[in-house]
Amino acid sequence: MNVIKAKDIFKTYTNTAVPVPALNGVSLSIEEGEFTAIVGPSGCGKTTLLNILGGLDHPTSGTVEVAGTDITGMSDKDLIKFRLWHIGFVFQAYNLIPVLTNKENVEFIMLLQKQPKATREQRALELLQQMDIADKADLRPSELSGGQQQRVAVARALASRPRVILADEPTANLDSKSTTNLLDMMARMNREEQATFVFSTHDQRVIDKARRVITLEDGKVIADEVR
């Protein structure tokens, strides 16, 4: 079953002196449960594509369906509500809330969903345990290493059981050991939680772990390899 379906996506940035084309007719489908890497040289459109698939940016033309819903024409307000229930994000810079504990960071999306306190706490602790950082639950992000912070970010992305996790260069700031540990954990969560992961990455270690690799160049898909 397709959990993401993008058709003829074009994106041109016009807030520059000269219009800058970022995507040039990208079409792709992502199946439920995939572990997919979107790769290519800097400036090829990887992050732009990921942002459009996640409703963080709007295409100039084309359509995007996520979990059976066409998100292309949604208002920003409706997109916020949709993302809250269907899409989890993992960013290069972690984007954790510094004044909250790690457990509270994981709970945050569920709090916005108005889930009961007991449900939030149980799910957060369960995920932190699966990420091997349950002993850090009551600390704040600043008290963790980069690799540990990214594990919290992955736990937060998974907390509400979204259909899709979009990860933009999630290993860019991590050392080799932290990257290996994080990728192993995400692969396990992909299997155990049936979460669909889509990465934007330059990192060969992520590419090696992916079961499908989509290559962009000059805003176009030039290769799509299933392993």
pLDDT tens-digit series, residues 45-80? 999 999 999 999 999 999 999 999 999 989 999 999
User: pTM of the full predicted structure?
Assistant: 0.93
pLDDT tens-digit series, residues 15-24? 888 888 999 9
Q: What is the average per-residue pLDDT within 124-145?
A: 95
Selected residue with higher pLDDT from 9 and 185? 9
Strands 196-200 and 35-39: parallel
116 secondary structure, DSSP code? -
Residue 102 has pLDDT above 90, yes or no: yes
Residues of the domain holding 106 = 2-226
Q: Name the burial class of residue 191, with classes exposed (0-12), middle (13-18) and buried (19+) by CB atoms within 10 angstroms of its CB.
A: exposed
Counting Cα atoms < 13 Å in the Cβ hemisphere of 53 gives 33
Selected residue with higher pLDDT from 142 and 193? 142
Task: Specify the CATH number for the domain of residue 74.
Answer: 3.40.50.300
Residue 226 has pLDDT above 90, yes or no: yes
Look at the chain and report how many structural domains it folds into.
1
